[in-house]
Structure 1
Amino acid sequence: MLKFIYVNPTTGSDTNSGSQQAPLKTITQALKQSASGTKIQLAEDNYNATNGEVFPLIVPFGVTIIGNEDNRGNGIVINGSGRHLSHIFGAQNVSLVLNSGVRLRGITVTNSASRGTAVWIESSSPTVVNCTFINSEREGILVTGNANPTIKDNIFTQNSANGISITKNSSGEIIGNSCFQTGFGISISDNANPILIDNKIYANRSGIVVSGDARPVLRENRCENNIQDGLTVVANALPDIGNSRSPGNNIFDNNGQFDIQNASINKLISIDNQVKVVNVNGNIQFFADPEPEPEAELESETEKILQPKPQITISNLTDINGHWAAEYIQELIQLDIVKGFPNRTFRADATITRSQYAALLVKAFNPLSLQQPIEFEDIKKSFWAYQAIKQAYQGKLVSLYPGKKFLPHQNIPRIQVIVSLANGLALTSKIEIDLNIYRDSNQIPNDARSQVSAATQNQLIVNYPNIEKLNPNRAATRAEVAVMVYQVLVLIGKAREIDSPYIVSC
């Protein structure tokens, strides 16, 4: 049964029961009494060290903190900072640390300490909705490690560094937020691959800054009236701002320097975004969203961005010679399972979304129906990959998130590919395998260990460049997915075996 705890700094006491009639005084005390499923209701007030709070507030698994969602936490203010020891970044000044399953709803958070972060999300999957993050000395929310949060309908303003920082191998959904009058609206770095949908990013120093090897997906965002750039891309970053089956529909307009500034080593492909070509800088190619062919609902950007030229081979692909997965890609092209792009590239190291992956599975295996269809909560029947996702689901090749959600635009992690292929083939381990052969075996989710063991035994797993690192929570690349799908074809006798030092064998 769910437990409610009420907190009121003015009328409460930490010796009270925490009922509505006898509230606690501090969130700190409420968290000590909380377990998964607990809901902590905050009264309109200030929650700070003067009133007895001890920072950082570490919110345990499955706990919900509720303020007032109707006004995004106006008048319900958590303001404080404490030293949090991050496994990745060491000691940090943080207001709240959110574990998986946590829900933060309708509160305002401020961290005015030097380099202060309001909310720290590290390798966890919480949900933050209808909150306000204001006047922090660094950022409103920092997402790092292998985190996969949902950050939706929040306000980020007047933070010194960034509204939201997304780093390391994090993913997640960043939806419907407003970032304004802050440093960078959203900063995405390292190998992060979140999806950004319908965010309004304006009047910041820069709007969205993508760096490192980040591979975010941007859809229906507005980046306008920022002092410098609307979208800045540097280093080896490569954001997806539209493809033929999923147009970008982003607006980049009236930014001080450039609407899009591509200073990366990659060509940026823009499909169906609102942006003036004269206001961009760097290697950017623009396409209008093409009309799909009648049969295109079973094909995906995994196979093509625009209508590809027929018979594309390794010899005329410009970016595949010498690639570690080149021979696998060649074989899949000859089997008409994958194709190159019209600009003679394959983009082997780009990421792949869950909808693109489902379409590839259908193309490769044409699975039979093994379970009843369902109505997906987040996919319309008009969506380009609807039929492919439905067939892949009925064939038990893909799974859902809670609430019958598929999250079609989310980049698929490697662990989901491995589990998908192992489950689709109903693989089991004939012998017990010590998963410590992977140096990062501690990152394998407990409910996926049997599938990883079976996939390892059947030589379905590819680890590049270090065969001893599984990287289960990193977004899979097109090359990695191609090789693992090819290994399934080998296993079922539909393709020849290819020697590779990156296929795990035990």
Structure 2
Amino acid sequence: MVNSTLVVTLYVNPMTGNDTNTGSRLSPFKSLTRALKVTKIPTIIHLESGTYNASSGEVFPLIIPRGVTVVGNEANKGVGIVISGSGEYQSPSFGIQNITLLLVDNASLLGITVTNPSAKGTGIWIESAAPTLSNNTLSNCGREGVFTTGTAKPAILDNIFVQNTACGLVMAGHSQGEVRRNVFQRNPLGIAISDFAVPTIANNKLSENRTAIALSRNAQPVLRQNLIINNTQGGLLVNGNAVPDLGNSEDPGDNIFCDHREFDLYNATTQKLVSVGNQLDSSLVKGLVELLPINPVAVNTSYSNSSTESPPQKPSLSPCPLLTSPELNDHWAEAFIQALARMDLIHAFADGSYQPDKPMTRAQYAAMVAIAFNPFPKIPSPDFTDVPKDFWAYSAIQIAASGGFVGGFSDCTFRPDRGVQRLQVIVSLVNGLRLPAVDSGVVDVYSDRHTIPDYARTAVATATQRGIVVNYPDPKVLAPLRLATRAEVAAMVYQALVAIGRTSAIKIIRNS
């Protein structure tokens, strides 16, 4: 009897492969085009680092068929594994299009960079299919990174859409599906939704675009827990007969809009929109919009030095198990640590302990911020001489460093086992998250403010104002140069997630 679930695995290396090879790990193909010609169902195709273009033997458009998964490097969003090219595709809905990839049925693309250099070119086309796009980078496409149409129902998860000529993502036709935890940055339009599309857009970050989200025709997307900030023109533009779901009393929107020049929300239609539980500047809301608040919830923590409360957000907790380490019982940071555990952002040591009062190492800190914030790479990953590729935190350190959260020393070392200072954690979170600076006078709340180096005063003030700084047991003692404990780092990372709208603040009642 033949096992129909046997998975075929093929390997492609544009640098060392040859299309006359067998496609095994030791004898890889040179082109993805060749691998796709011999695919069976199901098949996993592993792409090694390099550029996959016409010069390396690719014939575009590349069609990823049903049951095929193309995998690069998900940990770094496909950096260094680039599919670049364009070919004509006859779309049943939109006629001839210039596209790089067509994803059919339930195909998957994981950890790849896709770019279409052609004018009006699309990186990935999805038509009446339900593929998965995860941990990819869509950049420098001549028109948009991804276009969905027909009855498409994709899962678009944890991708980066950056510097595409017209738009990061277009959803047209009767598209549905989920768009979650993606970053849309430096596109004229982050997301455009049109026709009768009704996708769920949740937990995404849209910043530095001209307009973050534009709706037209009869689009009816559901928008939840998105961070929509610092777009040069505005946040959400609604045209035609579009009606976005911006929350209701049982399921508030929890979207954050801020730092826009012209509008947070612009309703250019004649029908009234209702916004429930979203953070909006009422002076930047245009058109017929009724703003309703979320039901009151407790949002502050006794250990935060912030003078203002962070906006209430629904917890984004998954059903991950709690840590069972006895040392956490009645510990001042237990709520923060367990909340991060539920979000699957921290884990216990092999012996089941968390060791909250021990200093956190630089490697442990890099691993935590890499997982918690999954930062977009801002600089090339440095090559630290004391962090070999088989080091347990190598990938995390690369992600945290390229994302601007951590750096090395002048001798090109990282010193992963050295403890991280409280000040370093504070400055790291402010710089890595690119939080807007505030007046440094805020640090006057600390009795030991004279110990804050001049270069870090603004960052400390910013973190204090945003409620990130956590001091225990005395809120007025910053102790910036002391090594941070694992509990303190967990608390500050959690508060940083609150500050950017990723989760809700924790109310802690201190026992007297």
TM superposition score normalised by structure 2: 0.57
Partner of 2:18: 13
Partner of 2:134: 129
> For 2:179, which of 149, 174, 183 is the aligned residue?
174
The runs of 5 or more residues in structure 2 that have no matched partner are: 1-5, 298-316, 321-512
Say whether the 8 Å CA contact 1:118–1:133 is kept in structure 2.
Answer: yes
- Counterparts of 1:203-282 in structure 2 under 5 Å? 203-282=208-287
Query: What's the CA shift string for 1:275-312, capped at 9, x where partnerless?
Result: 111111000001112479xxxxxxxxxxxxxxxxxxxx
Partner of 1:289: 294
Say whether the 8 Å CA contact 2:8–2:41 is kept in structure 1.
Answer: no
Partner of 1:406: none
Pairing 1:161–2:166 present: yes
The runs of 5 or more residues in structure 1 that have no matched partner are: 293-376, 381-506
1-side partners of 2:294 and 2:257: how far apart? 17
Q: Give how far 1:20 is off.
A: 0.2
Query: What's the CA shift string for 1:445-481, capped at 9, x where partnerless?
Result: xxxxxxxxxxxxxxxxxxxxxxxxxxxxxxxxxxxxx
Partner of 2:196: 191
Say whether the 8 Å CA contact 1:118–1:140 is kept in structure 2.
Answer: yes
2-side partners of 1:255 and 1:36: how far apart? 48
> For 1:78, which of 79, 83, 88 is the aligned residue?
83
Partner of 1:105: 110
- Counterparts of 1:41-80 in structure 2 under 5 Å? 41-80=46-85
Query: What's the CA shift string for 1:62-91, capped at 9, x where partnerless?
Result: 100000000000000000000011001111
Q: Give how far 1:223 is off.
A: 1.1
Task: Quote the RMSD (CA, aligned, Å).
Answer: 1.5
Higher relative contact order, structure no. (Cα contacts within 8 Å, ≥ 6 residues apart): 2
3-state SS of the aligned residue for 1:41? strand
3-state SS of the aligned residue for 1:259? strand
3-state SS of the aligned residue for 1:264? coil
1-side partners of 2:156 and 2:186: how far apart? 19
Partner of 1:33: 38
> For 2:122, which of 110, 117, 122 is the aligned residue?
117
Say whether the 8 Å CA contact 1:59–1:97 is kept in structure 2.
Answer: yes
3-state SS of the aligned residue for 1:235? coil
TM superposition score normalised by structure 1: 0.57
Q: Give how far 1:224 is off.
A: 1.1
- Counterparts of 1:381-400 in structure 2 under 5 Å? none
Q: Give how far 1:265 is off.
A: 2.2
Letter in 2 for 1:273: N
Partner of 2:464: none
1-side partners of 2:197 and 2:74: how far apart? 29
Letter in 2 for 1:55: F
Q: Give how far 1:61 is off.
A: 0.4
1-side partners of 2:294 and 2:262: how far apart? 26
Query: What's the CA shift string for 1:367-426, capped at 9, x where partnerless?
Result: xxxxxxxxxx9899xxxxxxxxxxxxxxxxxxxxxxxxxxxxxxxxxxxxxxxxxxxxxx
Query: What's the CA shift string for 1:132-151, capped at 9, x where partnerless?
Result: 00100100000101000000
Partner of 2:101: 96
Partner of 1:393: none
Query: What's the CA shift string for 1:150-170, capped at 9, x where partnerless?
Result: 000000011011100000100
1-side partners of 2:211 and 2:177: how far apart? 22
3-state SS of the aligned residue for 2:55? helix
Say whether the 8 Å CA contact 2:124–2:147 is kept in structure 1.
Answer: yes
Letter in 1 for 2:8: K
- Counterparts of 1:335-346 in structure 2 under 5 Å? none
2-side partners of 1:244 and 1:148: how far apart? 27
- Counterparts of 1:403-418 in structure 2 under 5 Å? none
3-state SS of the aligned residue for 1:230? strand
3-state SS of the aligned residue for 2:239? strand
3-state SS of the aligned residue for 2:36? helix
Letter in 2 for 1:28: T
1-side partners of 2:254 and 2:40: how far apart? 42
Partner of 2:455: none
Query: What's the CA shift string for 1:184-224, capped at 9, x where partnerless?
Result: 00000010000001000011110000110000000000111
1-side partners of 2:259 and 2:236: how far apart? 12
Say whether the 8 Å CA contact 1:229–1:257 is kept in structure 2.
Answer: yes
Say whether the 8 Å CA contact 1:175–1:196 is kept in structure 2.
Answer: yes
1-side partners of 2:239 and 2:41: how far apart? 41
2-side partners of 1:2 and 1:238: how far apart? 43
Q: Alignment identity in percent? A: 47
Letter in 1 for 2:214: V
> For 2:205, which of 197, 200, 211 is the aligned residue?
200
Letter in 2 for 1:114: A
Say whether the 8 Å CA contact 1:237–1:266 is kept in structure 2.
Answer: no
2-side partners of 1:56 and 1:162: how far apart? 20
2-side partners of 1:378 and 1:190: how far apart? 33
Q: Give how far 1:227 is off.
A: 1.3
1-side partners of 2:23 and 2:156: how far apart? 29
> For 2:153, which of 124, 148, 167 is the aligned residue?
148
The total of aligned residue pairs comes to 296
Query: What's the CA shift string for 1:337-374, capped at 9, x where partnerless?
Result: xxxxxxxxxxxxxxxxxxxxxxxxxxxxxxxxxxxxxx
Say whether the 8 Å CA contact 2:87–2:99 is kept in structure 1.
Answer: yes
Query: What's the CA shift string for 1:119-144, capped at 9, x where partnerless?
Result: 00000000000000010010000010
Q: Give how far 1:35 is off.
A: 2.2
3-state SS of the aligned residue for 2:263? coil
Partner of 2:399: none
3-state SS of the aligned residue for 2:124? strand
Say whether the 8 Å CA contact 1:35–1:61 is kept in structure 2.
Answer: no
Give the 3 Å change call, closer, same or farther, for CA 378–214 of structure 1 in structure 2.
farther
Letter in 2 for 1:157: V
2-side partners of 1:256 and 1:99: how far apart? 40
Say whether the 8 Å CA contact 1:97–1:119 is kept in structure 2.
Answer: yes
Letter in 2 for 1:90: G
1-side partners of 2:90 and 2:160: how far apart? 27
1-side partners of 2:33 and 2:173: how far apart? 30
